[in-house]
Amino acid sequence: MMRSVLPILTVVTALVLLWYGAAISMNSKWAQDQAARAGLDLSFTELVADTWSQDRPRLPAPHQVVQELWKSTGEMALKGRAFSKRSLIFHGWITLSATMLGFVIGTGAGILLAVGIVHYRVMDMSVMPWAIASQTIPIIAIAPMIIVVLNSIGIQGLVPKAIISAYLSFFPVVVGMVKGLRSPSIDQLDLLRTYNAGTGATFWKLRLPSSMPYLFTSLKIGMAASLVGAIVGELPTGAIRGLGARMLTGSYYGQTIQIWSALIAAAILAALLVGTIGLIQRATLKRMGMQP
Amino acid sequence: MRNSSVIEAKDLNLTFETNDGPVHALKGVTLTIDKGDFVSFIGPSGCGKTTFLRVVAALEHPTGGSITVNGMTPDEARRQRAYGYVFQAAGLYPWRTIRGNIRLPLEIMGFPKAEQEAQIDRVLDLVELRGFGKKYPWQLSGGMQQRASIARALAFDADLLLMDEPFGALDEIVRDHLNEQLLHLWGSTNKTIGFVTHSIPEAVYLSTKIVVMSPRPGRITDVIESTLPRERPLDIRDTPEFLEIAHRVREGLRAGHAYDD
């Protein structure tokens, strides 16, 4: 445990130092302009203090982001306003629900496609190229169209965002599950043939259990992609709720601290989601008796 | 005599079409295996010994000649659960316990639950793995894993056991032990066994009949009926009789130009 903590702490410390340094150099021009206008001469310590405490810095200092994060989450929760519109918990929840719905749709579609691809040659030849092509289109280009099209048939709110999120997350699941379902060796398949086992028995008894390690790896990537999809889905719509909307309004009004705190909140959310899958993975593989 | 033969192959041919032209895996193979025989197939790589076993199991289909298993085509025989097959790698499912692995064919073949458990107990005793049923494969040694895979092949009580170099990956000491156990198992169950091997002493020690094969094209060069008694302690391998048979096998391999290259 200690062995992994030390390197991690070292890297984090280095990043924070770099961040503070960058904040000085990026924000100093504005600080000096202000000082010049007021006819003042800033000492180095005054300059540093100023670059780390501006209202609208180009790059907010880490402690400013942390303060903003606390103000918009823990502090509001303590006041009983966790779900007010200024709370990141509220916005995070909006994004999370779209992410989860998209993840479920994307994973389900991905697994079904993989099962089809492994069992039907026609699907193997026809679906895979399209799946790959779908991922070469920038999501930022296709997201507004999905929203507009769905809106025209009366679907709005959560579902369009979830679909964009599913669009990103089905792909790693397809690729991983195709590989996983095909992972049994020739000998293992021959063994089932000697039992005269059908396609169904081969799938349930051999292919599906063999694919579990691949599935979880795909789910982790798919989950991260889902979150990105949900945030991107909030950008082009002028949404007023969700982490994506927070980033967007922050950039409209030059609220860099707000952008960064939404950004960090999204990163924390992603870490929690992927970590949860990791825990489920451990428990499942352990229950399946896989060698620890 | 006719109804006691388990496998009858007549002028069997199997040619694989490859990019480098046809490969004659089997050419003119004629062989009869009687009930209760322990038949070893020996020869260098590419002599068709594994291919022959796979034809019996209907995993490959001959391109010429005829073969019957229990008087049926291999495909029919498979549907009748005529044989159990043991591969070189134990190939146990890591996510199933030893009991679960042995249960696999029984589940697929639709045995009733109570009978499944009874059969598992029976074969665990046969391969002397009683008490290891709840372990996972990775908790067992290589030799024990291979015994579990033999138990899996025996679980549905087929009369014919096909074994493709089952002990090839194990060290010699474990191999001796498993050979002894296999002979004991064969003696107590009266099964017919087809056994592929690279090892002359293993073939001579185990078999009632030794089929010597040679490659390009895969064919039989000699069939040796063993004169050794059915009861065989390990030290039978030092008797002149044993050495004489081993010598004849070696001659057969040489005659087939098996080791030309």
Domain boundary assignment for chain A: 2-59, 88-287
Could you tell me the two tokens for B57? 């199991």
pLDDT, residue B253, reads 87
Q: Residues A97-126, buried b or exposed e (16+ Cβ, 10 A)?
A: ebbbbbbebbbebbbebbbbbbeeeeeeee
What is d(CA B133, CA B122) in angstroms, rounded to the nearest whole number?
12
Burial (CB count <10 Å: 0-12, 13-18, 19+), residue A43: exposed
Contact between B95 and A212 using a beta-carbon 8 Å cutoff: yes
Contact between B136 and A195 using a beta-carbon 8 Å cutoff: no
- Chosen for mutation from B55, B56, B95, B154 (greatest number of chain A CBs closer than 10 Å) is B95
CA distance B86 to chain A (A): 8
Q: What are φ and ψ of residue B120, in 5° steps? A: -60, -45
Backbone CA torsion sign across B181, B184, B133, A196: positive
What is d(CA B124, CA B117) in angstroms, rounded to the nearest whole number?
11
Contact between B59 and A185 using a beta-carbon 8 Å cutoff: no
Contact between B105 and A290 using a beta-carbon 8 Å cutoff: no
What is d(CA A165, CA A231) in angstroms, rounded to the nearest whole number?
8
Contact between B108 and A192 using a beta-carbon 8 Å cutoff: yes
- Chosen for mutation from B76, B103, B104 (greatest number of chain A CBs closer than 10 Å) is B104
Contact between B109 and A195 using a beta-carbon 8 Å cutoff: yes
Could you tell me the two tokens for B107? 């589940």
Q: Which residues contact B11 (CB under 8 A, 6 or more apart)?
A: B28, B29, B30, B64, B65, B66
Query: Which residue among B94, B96, B105 sits closest to A195, beta carbon to beta carbon?
Result: B105
Confidence label for A146 from pLDDT (cuts 50, 70 and 90): confident
Q: What are φ and ψ of residue A64, in 5° steps? A: -65, -40
CA distance A289 to chain B (A): 5
Contact between A289 and B89 using a beta-carbon 8 Å cutoff: no
Lowest mean pLDDT among A9-23, A100-114, B10-24: B10-24
Tell me, what DSSP letter sits at residue A169? H
Cβ atoms of residues A219 and A277 within 8 Å:
yes
Contact between B94 and A197 using a beta-carbon 8 Å cutoff: no
Contact between B107 and A290 using a beta-carbon 8 Å cutoff: no
Cβ atoms of residues A230 and A98 within 8 Å:
yes
Q: What are φ and ψ of residue A35, in 5° steps? A: -65, -40
Residue numbers in A near B104 (CB within 8 A): 195, 205
Residue numbers in B near A212 (CB within 8 A): 95
Q: Which residue of B has its CA nearest to A284?
A: B95
Q: Which residue of A has its CA nearest to B94?
A: A290
Mean pLDDT (chain A, rounded): 89
Query: Which residue among A190, A201, A291 sits closest to B94, beta carbon to beta carbon?
Result: A291
Contact between A195 and B83 using a beta-carbon 8 Å cutoff: no
Nearest alpha carbon to residue A164 among A182, A183, A190, A138: A138
Q: Would the pLDDT of B229 be above 90?
A: no
Query: Which residue among A192, A193, A289 sits closest to B94, beta carbon to beta carbon?
Result: A289
Tell me which residues of chain B, numbers 57 to 86, contact chain A at a CB-CB cutoff of 8 Å. Answer: 57-59, 78-79, 81, 83-85
CATH no. for A88-287: 1.10.3720.10
pLDDT, residue B2, reads 45
Backbone CA torsion sign across B190, B227, B233, B177: negative
pLDDT, residue A32, reads 85
Cβ atoms of residues A120 and A113 within 8 Å:
no
Mean pLDDT (chain B, rounded): 89
Taking residues A186-196, what's their average pLDDT?
92
Nearest alpha carbon to residue A233 among A175, A116, A150: A150
Contact between B91 and A206 using a beta-carbon 8 Å cutoff: no
CA distance B192 to chain A (A): 17
Taking residues B192-211, what's their average pLDDT?
93
In chain A, the percentage of residues whose pLDDT exceeds 70 is 97
- Angular region, A167: left φ>0, alpha ψ -120 to 50, beta rest: alpha
Taking residues A208-223, what's their average pLDDT?
94
Q: Would the pLDDT of B1 be above 50?
A: no
Partners of B8 in the beta sheet? Answer: B32, B68
Q: Which residue of A has its CA nearest to B101?
A: A205
Residue numbers in B near A197 (CB within 8 A): 108
Q: Which residue of A has its CA nearest to B86?
A: A191
Secondary structure of residue B30 in the 3-state scheme: strand
Contact between A192 and B138 using a beta-carbon 8 Å cutoff: no
Cβ atoms of residues B42 and B221 within 8 Å:
no
Q: Would the pLDDT of A82 be above 80?
A: no
- Chosen for mutation from A189, A194, A206, A288 (greatest number of chain B CBs closer than 10 Å) is A194
Query: Which residue among B81, B85, B95 sits closest to A191, beta carbon to beta carbon?
Result: B85
Secondary structure of residue B224 in the 3-state scheme: strand
Burial (CB count <10 Å: 0-12, 13-18, 19+), residue B212: buried
Confidence label for A193 from pLDDT (cuts 50, 70 and 90): very high
What is d(CA A44, CA A33) in angstroms, rounded to the nearest whole number?
15
Confidence label for B230 from pLDDT (cuts 50, 70 and 90): confident
CATH no. for B1-82+160-220+236-261: 3.40.50.300
Confidence label for B235 from pLDDT (cuts 50, 70 and 90): confident
Contact between B105 and A212 using a beta-carbon 8 Å cutoff: no
Cβ atoms of residues B85 and B153 within 8 Å:
yes
B160-164 and B83-86: which strand pairing?
Answer: parallel
Confidence label for A88 from pLDDT (cuts 50, 70 and 90): confident
Residue type, A132: I
Q: Which residues contact B187 (CB under 8 A, 6 or more apart)?
A: B230, B231
Burial (CB count <10 Å: 0-12, 13-18, 19+), residue B92: buried
Q: Which residue of B has its CA nearest to A191?
A: B85
Cβ atoms of residues A137 and A167 within 8 Å:
no
Q: What are φ and ψ of residue B198, in 5° steps? A: -100, -10
Residue with tokens 């982001």: A65
- Chosen for mutation from A183, A185, A186, A196 (greatest number of chain B CBs closer than 10 Å) is A196
What are the sequence ranges of the domains in chain B?
1-82+160-220+236-261, 93-157
Tell me which residues of chain B, numbers 134 to 173, contact chain A at a CB-CB cutoff of 8 Å. Answer: 136, 138
The Cα-based distances of B234 to B204, B237, B239 in angstroms read 11, 6, 10
In chain B, the percentage of residues whose pLDDT exceeds 70 is 97
Confidence label for B3 from pLDDT (cuts 50, 70 and 90): low
Contact between B87 and A187 using a beta-carbon 8 Å cutoff: yes
Length of chain A equals 292
Instruction: Please give the order of strands across the beta sheet that includes B5-18.
Output: B21-34, B5-18, B64-69
Lowest mean pLDDT among A95-104, A276-285, B57-66, B166-175: B166-175
Backbone CA torsion sign across A65, A67, A72, A74: positive
Cis preceding-peptide flag for B217 (omega within 30 of 0) = yes
Question: How big is chain A by its Cα radius of gyration, in Å?
Answer: 24
Q: Would the pLDDT of B210 be above 70?
A: yes
Contact between B108 and A291 using a beta-carbon 8 Å cutoff: no
Query: Which residue among A194, A197, A201 sits closest to B85, beta carbon to beta carbon?
Result: A194
